[in-house]
A and B are shown apart, each in its own frame.
Chain A
C-alpha cells in the first residue's frame, strides 16, 4: 500500500469513526451532561462566592456611617442598642456595631453572640503595612479544585474515548467485518484511522470543555483566575493530545486480543488502572512538589501533573517541552508495539489471544 492510499484509508476510517460516534444518541447525551456539569459547577461556585461575601451587620446611630463604608458588609440599621442585640440573638445579623458614650479609646463596641467576629473587627481596625518576600501562595481549596478539575477531565475523556475505541475494535472483530476491511486496507491504516478519529473527538471535547470553563469564569467575574489558568490549560491540551494517542493505541491493541464485547472488561482493566492511578496521585499529592515534579515527567500522569506545576508557577519554561518530548517518544514506541499486537490479533477469533503470542506474531 503506497503512502497516498494509506493516507486516504486513514482519512476514511477516521471519518467513519467520527460520524458514527456523532450519530450515537448516548454519546451526544453523555457529552452534553459533561458540558453541563463543567459549566454548572463553575457558575454555581462563582455565584455562591459572590453572594456569600455580603455579611449583614447591624449598626446604631453614628456607627451606621462607618459600617456603610465597609466593603463586603451589608448595613442593617437598628434604632436602639437593645434592638441591635436582638438582631444578633435572632441570627439576623452576624454582629452589631454600636457607638459608645464618653471618651473611650475606640468610640465603638462590637457586639456578637458567642464568638469574637474576627472579620468585622479586622475591618474596623488599623493594620500595619505588610510586605511579603515571596509570591503569595494560592489558597489550598482553589489548588485542589484545579488539580481535581484537570484530573477529572483527563480521566473522563481518556476512559470515554478509550472505551469507544476499544468497543469499535471489538465490534469489528465480533461482527467479522474486519476480514473484509483487511482485504482492502492494512491493519496499520485501520488502527491509525481509529486512533486519529477518536483523538479528534477527544481533542474536540477537551477544547469545548476548556472554552466552557473560561466562559463560566468570565461570567462569574473570575477573569483573573481565568487568566492565571490560561497557560496551564494550553499545556494541558497539548499534552493531552499526545497522551491520548498513547492511550488510544493501548486501548485498541488490548481490545484486539478478544473477540467478544463481554471479554473486553478483563483486557482493559490494566489500561484503565494505568489511567486512574496517576489521576489519584495527582489529586492527592498536588501540594508535594517532589511527587508532582516526578509525575510531570511520567508519560501517563504528565498531562495532569505538568499543567498543575505550570499553574503553581513551579515549572521552568523548558520543562513542559521536555515532558512533551518524553511523552511523544513513549507514544511512538507504544503505538509501534500496539500496531504489532493489533495486526497479529485481528484475525484470531475465539479464545483470548495471549499478549506474548500477539507480540511474536
Chain B
C-alpha cells in the first residue's frame, strides 16, 4: 500500500500541492483526476522522488520510501520520452538494467512485453521510426519492464486508440491482480469511472474527494431521484415537495427529500407498474464538476 501523508510543495510563492494525503491500495486501480494545473503531475513526481517535497511523507507498506524502493517503481511521466535513436528492445533492456535488473532477465522481460503490447515487428526499430501510438506502447513497456512493485502512470491512455486502451488496460489489471498498487491520472473521466476501483480528485493542489468509486458516487448522491414507469410520468411535476430536473415521457429525474420521494413512489406503484426507482447516483463527471466548484 502506498500512502501519502501531508505532502506540500510550493514553487516560489505558488503553492502547487497543499497537504495532500491519500492511499493507493495494493491490488487496486486508483484513478487520479483533476483539471490542468491541479497538482497531479507534481504529486506524482514527488511520489517518484524526482521532485522533493517541502513537507510530508510517502510510505510504502508502512515504511518510508527510499531510493532503493523507488527504483522498483514503474513510472510513466506526463512528458513522454525515450531515446529517439535507440532501438525498442535495446532501450527497454537499458532502462530495466538502470533499475537493477540483470541483463538476461531484462532481455527476456523486454521481449515478453514487446509481444504483449504488439510491438514484435518493431522490436529492432529506433523509437523515432515508430508511429505515435506505437511510441506510446513502447513508453508503457518502459514503465513495466522491470516488473515494478508499484505503478504510477501519468495519463497512460492519452494518444492510444480504443484497441490499444484495451490492451494496456489488460496489462494494468494483471499488475493490480498481483497486488501491485496502481495509480494513474487521466482527463478521460469516463475511462476512469469504468476502470478504477478507487478515485482521488485533486483541485487547486488539495484533495477534494477520495475513496472507492461506489462510495464516492453514493456519498455524492444527494437528494436526486430517478423514476421510470410504464405509462406517462408527467404527474410527478405536480407532486408536492418535488422539483423535476429532467422529464421524458415515462422517465423523470427529480430532487426531493426522502419522505416526498417515498410519496412519489407510492403513487407510482398505485397507478402504473414501476420499472425503476432509486437514488440517482451521479457520474464521475458530475461529481467532479460538483467537488471542483
- Provide the bound-state CA to CA distance between A279 and B154, in Å: 49
Within 8 A of A (CB), among B50-93: 50-51, 67-68, 70-71, 73, 75, 77, 79-86
Any chain A CB within 8 A of the CB of B251? no
Any chain A CB within 8 A of the CB of B291? no
Q: Are A175 and B75 in contact (CB under 8 A)?
A: no
Instruction: List residues of chain A with CB within 8 A of the CB of B143.
Output: 180
Q: Are B81 and A178 in contact (CB under 8 A)?
A: yes
Any chain B CB within 8 A of the CB of A177? yes
Known interface pairs A9-B98, A180-B77, A184-B98. Does A2 touch B82 (Cβ–Cβ under 8 Å)? no
Any chain B CB within 8 A of the CB of A143? no
- Chain B, residue nearest A5 (CB): B100
- Chain A, residue nearest B97 (CB): A12
Q: Are A8 and B100 in contact (CB under 8 A)?
A: yes
Known interface pairs A1-B68, A12-B97. Does A347 touch B50 (Cβ–Cβ under 8 Å)? yes
Within 8 A of A (CB), among B98-112: 98-100
- Chain B, residue nearest A19 (CB): B90
Residues 161-185 of chain A: 1 if any B CB is under 8 Å from the residue's CB, otherwise 0?
0000000000110011111111111
Instruction: List residues of chain A with CB within 8 A of the CB of B81.
Output: 175-180
Residues 97-136 of chain B: 1 if any A CB is under 8 Å from the residue's CB, otherwise 0?
1111000000000000000000000000000000000000
CB contact between A175 and one of B48, B83, B100 (< 8 Å): that residue: B83
Instruction: List residues of chain B with CB within 8 A of the CB of A178.
Output: 81
- Provide the bound-state CA to CA distance between A265 and B48, in Å: 32
Instruction: List residues of chain B with CB within 8 A of the CB of A185.
Output: 71, 98
- Provide the bound-state CA to CA distance between A175 and B73, in Å: 21
Within the complex, the shortest CB–CB distance from A66 to chain B, in Å, comes to 71
Within the complex, the shortest CB–CB distance from B110 to chain A, in Å, comes to 15
CB contact between B77 and one of A13, A20, A172, A179 (< 8 Å): that residue: A179
Any chain A CB within 8 A of the CB of B49? yes
- Provide the bound-state CA to CA distance between A313 and B49, in Å: 55
- Provide the bound-state CA to CA distance between A1 and B99, in Å: 11
Known interface pairs A180-B75, A180-B77, A183-B73. Does A20 touch B85 (Cβ–Cβ under 8 Å)? yes
Known interface pairs A175-B83, A180-B81, A180-B142. Does A12 touch B94 (Cβ–Cβ under 8 Å)? yes
Number of cross-chain contacts by CB at 8 Å: 63
- Chain A, residue nearest B83 (CB): A177
Known interface pairs A177-B82, A179-B77, A179-B81. Does A347 touch B51 (Cβ–Cβ under 8 Å)? yes
CB contact between B80 and one of A8, A9, A176, A347 (< 8 Å): that residue: A176
Instruction: List residues of chain A with CB within 8 A of the CB of B48.
Output: 183
Q: Are B86 and A182 in contact (CB under 8 A)?
A: no
Taking residues whose C-beta sits less than 8 angstroms from the other chain, chain B's interface range is 20 to 34
- Provide the bound-state CA to CA distance between A176 and B81, in Å: 5
Known interface pairs A8-B100, A175-B84, A347-B50. Does A180 touch B68 (Cβ–Cβ under 8 Å)? no
Any chain B CB within 8 A of the CB of A186? yes
Any chain A CB within 8 A of the CB of B172? no
Q: Number of A interface residues, CB 8 Å? A: 25
- Chain A, residue nearest B47 (CB): A183
- Provide the bound-state CA to CA distance between A175 and B98, in Å: 18
Within the complex, the shortest CB–CB distance from B133 to chain A, in Å, comes to 18
Instruction: List residues of chain A with CB within 8 A of the CB of B274.
Output: none
Any chain A CB within 8 A of the CB of B95? yes
Within the complex, the shortest CB–CB distance from A193 to chain B, in Å, comes to 10
- Provide the bound-state CA to CA distance between A246 and B58, in Å: 37
Q: Which among A172, A175, A179, A180 has the highest number of chain B CB atoms within 10 Å?
A: A180
Instruction: List residues of chain A with CB within 8 A of the CB of B94.
Output: 12, 16
Q: Are B86 and A20 in contact (CB under 8 A)?
A: yes
Instruction: List residues of chain B with CB within 8 A of the CB of A1.
Output: 67-68, 71
Q: Which among A172, A178, A184 has the highest number of chain B CB atoms within 10 Å?
A: A184
- Chain A, residue nearest B80 (CB): A176
- Provide the bound-state CA to CA distance between A172 and B143, in Å: 17
- Chain A, residue nearest B146 (CB): A184
Instruction: List residues of chain A with CB within 8 A of the CB of B84.
Output: 175
Any chain B CB within 8 A of the CB of A349? yes
- Provide the bound-state CA to CA distance between A183 and B69, in Å: 11
Instruction: List residues of chain B with CB within 8 A of the CB of A184.
Output: 71, 95, 98-99
- Provide the bound-state CA to CA distance between A2 and B51, in Å: 19
Q: Are A12 and B98 in contact (CB under 8 A)?
A: yes
- Provide the bound-state CA to CA distance between A324 and B269, in Å: 97
- Provide the bound-state CA to CA distance between A8 and B96, in Å: 13
Within the complex, the shortest CB–CB distance from A336 to chain B, in Å, comes to 19
- Provide the bound-state CA to CA distance between A16 and B86, in Å: 10
- Provide the bound-state CA to CA distance between A185 and B73, in Å: 12
- Chain A, residue nearest B70 (CB): A183
Q: Are A181 and B80 in contact (CB under 8 A)?
A: no
Q: Which among B48, B79, B142 has the highest number of chain A CB atoms within 10 Å?
A: B79
Instruction: List residues of chain B with CB within 8 A of the CB of A175.
Output: 81-84
Q: Are B67 and A179 in contact (CB under 8 A)?
A: no
- Provide the bound-state CA to CA distance between A179 and B86, in Å: 17
Instruction: List residues of chain A with CB within 8 A of the CB of B75.
Output: 179-180, 183
Within 8 A of B (CB), among A180-223: 180-186
Residues 137-168 of chain B: 1 if any A CB is under 8 Å from the residue's CB, otherwise 0?
00000110000000000000000000000000
Q: Are B50 and A179 in contact (CB under 8 A)?
A: yes
- Provide the bound-state CA to CA distance between A349 and B51, in Å: 14
- Chain A, residue nearest B85 (CB): A20
A–B complex contacts, Cβ < 8 Å, 5 sampled: A12-B94, A176-B81, A180-B75, A180-B81, A347-B45
The 6 closest A-B CB pairs, nearest first, are: A176-B81, A176-B79, A177-B81, A179-B77, A184-B98, A183-B75
Residues of A within 8 A of B (CB): 1-2, 5, 8-9, 12-13, 16, 20, 171-172, 175-186, 347, 349
16 more A-B residue pairs beyond the given contacts A2-B68, A176-B79, A184-B71, with a C-beta to C-beta distance below 8 A: A1-B68, A5-B100, A172-B83, A175-B82, A175-B84, A176-B81, A179-B50, A179-B77, A179-B81, A182-B50, A183-B49, A184-B98, A184-B99, A185-B71, A347-B45, A347-B51
